Every structure is written in structure tokens, then in C-alpha cells.
Structure 1
């Protein structure tokens, strides 16, 4: 639809200017439903929608609240592209709510849908609870939908949006197939974790499993495996890859800071710097405590994070540079160049980056924030201890070389304290 395409063109123009920006993409406005005229004693809502197809809605005051929050916390949201919704209802349900609140008989009149019905609204479908705010401006339909949200346990969740955004670079991981092309997996990390799983035996849990690059090979060795990840997009791709290889893995969506799977495991691991999406010390400790609750007697917990190089961190000057090691070939798009601009927040120990994926014909077709914490060698054992774990060994690389200040990794072997 032309007005959606114009919005995409505006976003592309903003990116081309290189302006620091946060893009909010609201779904259908609830307030639109207030402007339909009555006809012969009833209200007719005429829209090009299917009566029983759920559609996501948001009140304009909800958009304003999110925008105000983003402005007040601009550093947390700079470079983000957030799709926001307040509720998901069919228009048959909307008509029923409107009639109940206003006592005006209300009827949906579906108009012809031109082209792909999926283009009735822009953007992907949000998961319920993602970037939600409560509605409610005192007007009939908007107030009724706000009441529906509150009854369902979804009242104004603006605070939770900010909380989630601060530790999880969700936009970056919403492109699971492209992620695998940038980071194809394999190599010594897979060999290491596979060997550790075989040594431990029993049940295996990978936290922040992504698309399963390490867990699927472990499952193929015959271990019962569970993969936990925050991103539904990554889990869907992991499921597809496991099915393709004929490997059984239980994939579950959850928050690594606080999860309860109702069972214990003989081997638990977090790899590829995934732990560094947790920026606050309390979140790291909470994650470690959740891990401890899931460790069987004699179990091992292993994770790897990079060893911070102060010189490299200080060199993060915000200049956009091509990262040749991450550039790749997409079967559909051809050669994809990856540019990254990063700054380092020393007080927070967080590197704040923006990743740009481009082809010659489609510059910046993905622009995604990625924020990664640094955990320095002396603070890491303390965080582990506060989480109820004991650090047994710390290696500096995948070969098992002892950790030293010049080694690239902190590869930590832990057990319950």
C-alpha cells in the first residue's frame, strides 16, 4: 500500500542522512475507530480487513508515552527500530466491545482487500507482550480496549519495554537466517562444547542457544538436549535446522535471567559471548542463580566471554567501518557488506554498536543495534560466587591454554558451590 511504502522511504532517507535516530513503528490506531458515522441506528466500521483475522492495535496516547520514554532514555534506544502494539483483536471482537461500551449497535463492513492481505498493516506480527503499552484515553472504544488489556493482565507495560531493551539487542536477532550467514558456526568452539557434553554425559541445556549451531551437533551425539533463547525468530530457525538434520531438540523461549524448566541437567553452557547481553551485575548474578538451580549433582556449567582489551575498547570512536570478517554472500541478495559503528560506555562497561547490512542495490537494508557488556577478569569470579557457583578452571582459548591477561577468552568451568 502506498502510504506504507512512503514510510519505508522516509526511514531509508533518515538512514542515508546518517542522523542518530530511533524509529517507532506503530500498528493500526485504535483512535481510528472513533470516526465512523452512525447509519440508521447503528455504527458501521468499514475497513479492508477479514472479520476473524486478528489485527494489532495501539492508542495514539500509548504511542506518545512510548515516544516520551524513548526521548527520556535516548541512549538506551539510539539506533533501535521498535514495532509497538497495545492489543491484538479481531474486528468482530472490536465491534462487540464498542457495542457493549457505547450501547450503539456496531457492525463491521469488510471492504475489498487489494493485493496481499498481509499488507493491510505494516511490519511483522509482534508477539503478545512485546513493546506493549496500555491504552485508554477516556473515549469509548479506546477505553474499552484498555479495559480488555487490564483484564488480560497487560496493563501499561512501558517500564518493561525499557527494561528488556536495555539488555537484549532484539532487532539484531530478529534476522536469524542472516545471522547464520554472518556467523556460520562450526570450528573449535563446537568441538570443545561437544567434547565437554560427551565427557559429562546425560542431559544438556544450552542457554541463549540461538539457531542451534552448537546444540544440534551435541544432540546428534545422542544427548537429550534443551535449548533456551529469548528470540522466537532464532528458535524458529533452530527448529527448522534440527528438523532438516533429523535431530530431536526441545526448544523453549525464556529469559536467561530467570527461568524454571522444572528439571536438572548434567551439562549447562552459554557460549559466544551471549552472557554479555546482561548489562547489570544483578542480572548476571540472577542468571547464575537460575543456572545453579538447574544443575544436577556433579553437573558442570561452562561459559565463554571475551577477555576485554582496554586498548580496543578505547578505540571505539563511533566511526562506521566495514567489518570484512562478518561480510558474507546471501543466496538471495548476493554480496552483503557489514559495517559497524561502536562507542564504549566506560561507566556501564558496555560497547554500544550499530550494525549496517548493505548490498550495492540496497544500502542499509538492515540497521540493528547491538550492545555488549565487558566483564573484567577480577570481577568475574565474584559474580560467579554471588550466583552460588564455584569457578573450577578458567582457560584462555579453546585448546585449554591457562587464562592470562593476553589470552582472547575467559572460558570458565563451574560447579555448584
Structure 2
């Protein structure tokens, strides 16, 4: 189980292929951070898919991630164009900062790595402590779909990809691992053309339906919150695939 995030070859592979999994979220968070009235902090910044675009455009943005290897890849990417990132290794359920942020954001389901209610509330408290008065915490998680879970979970999905200039086979599988605790696991594997395993990593995550996140918000230090059904700002409705939450502190 990869409790410390992507490691080694997996971090480099994620850096190359992460944009394939984007659901319009990267552009959404870039707009938010660019428009924020103060600095921004990205949770689970990884290899810099969102973070580096903001840094290169002059946004005052910091980042944290629990994967030391992912942050190493981010710094290598920055070295290529001479930028100076402010990123550090930390768990988003247990971190502290020495400045106040106008915006804290967490893209691409990463909040779901907080597995327990205790972890989730700790994350919300850490973010609240990091925000300036009137600051916002914005994140997205998917809407659990019974149809997708029943029809697709448990099966391996295999596709051919190019990595380091050579053809590889990438396999991924999502499966429910604890029905009572509402947890699932994503396993990723990469093999080269000769069938050699380059990495296999599994990540446990929490299913977070809208009522659950709403209760977390009520128990958190935040003063106001709302949820949209995607990145376009429309109220969430049946059939939406993405929950975009905005939690706000008082002025």
C-alpha cells in the first residue's frame, strides 16, 4: 500500500500521464488561484500538474504533498525553466503553515485520501487554520455512482502507453475493499514491452457522498459552504459526476 504517495518510477509516470485523467479541473483551479486576493496553497500538489502552471504565470502559490518522490519530479521540472517553488512534504491531515492564504485548494479527488472521519475533520481544521479571514477552501470529489461501482469496479482496465520513449502496458483497477467503512482501492501497474513489472501501487480512498461532506462541513470551523455539480458553477443535481465544494471562513 502506497501510504506515502507515488514513489520512484510511478511518480515519473504520473507526471507524464496525469493530464490524461483531468476533468477540466486544472483550468478551474488555475482561474481560482489567479483571481485570489492573496497567496494560494495547493494540497496534494504532486508533480506539479496545476502548481507549475500557476508558478510560471506569476501566481504566489505554495504546495504540499506527502510523496517526496513526486516533489522531486516537480523540482526537476521547475529547474528546467529556472523557477523557485515553495513546496514541502507534509500530510494534508496534519500540517501547519507560517503565512495566511486567501485560497487553499485540493484538486482531483485528493481529499478522498483522508480515510476516516477523524482524518477528514483534521484536514478541514488544518486548512481553516491556514486561511486568512474571508479565505476559501475549494476541492472536488466524485459523486459515487452505483452503476459505475456495480459495472466497472473490480475489473482491470488495460491500455498501451508510451513511457521513456518506449511502448508499455498500463493496468488499473478500482475495487471496493470495505463496504461498511465505504472505502475503495485503486491499483496501478506498469510493465515494459518484455513484461517486466516497473511498478505496482495501491491507494485506499474514501467514498464521499454529498451528505457526508455536508456533515463534515457542519462540524468544521468553516462559517459557510456550498457545493456545485461540476466546474461550471451550477447547483449540483442528480446525474452530476463531480462535487465541487467551497468552504469559507468569516471576514
Is 1:229 matched with 2:69? no
| CA positional deviation for 1:208 | 0.9
Is 1:181 matched with 2:16? yes
Q: How does 1:17-416 map to 2 (within 5 A)?
A: 80=1, 168=3, 170=5, 172-174=6-8, 175-184=10-19, 188-315=24-151, 318-322=154-158, 324=159, 327-332=160-165, 334-344=166-176, 345-416=178-249
Which secondary structure does the structure 1 equivalent of 2:197 belong to?
coil
| CA positional deviation for 1:241 | 1.3
Structure 1 runs (4+) greater than 6 angstroms displaced: none
Q: Following the alignment from structure 1 to structure 2, what is the Cα–Cα distance between the partners of residues 187 and 311?
A: 19
* TM-score, scaled to structure 2: 0.89
Q: Following the alignment from structure 2 to structure 1, what is the Cα–Cα distance between the partners of residues 77 and 110?
A: 20
Q: Following the alignment from structure 1 to structure 2, what is the Cα–Cα distance between the partners of residues 268 and 317?
A: 31
- The number of aligned residues is 247
Structure 1, unaligned stretches of length 5 or more?
A: 1-79, 81-164
| CA positional deviation for 1:365 | 2.4
Native 8 Å contact 1:173 1:234 kept in 2:
yes
Which secondary structure does the structure 2 equivalent of 1:196 belong to?
helix
Q: Following the alignment from structure 1 to structure 2, what is the Cα–Cα distance between the partners of residues 193 and 249?
A: 18
Higher relative contact order (CA 8 A, sep 6+): 2
1:152: which partner in 2? none
| CA positional deviation for 1:404 | 1.4
CA, structure 1 residues 223+251, in 2 after alignment: closer, same or farther (shift >3 Å)?
Answer: same
Q: Following the alignment from structure 2 to structure 1, what is the Cα–Cα distance between the partners of residues 224 and 24?
A: 22
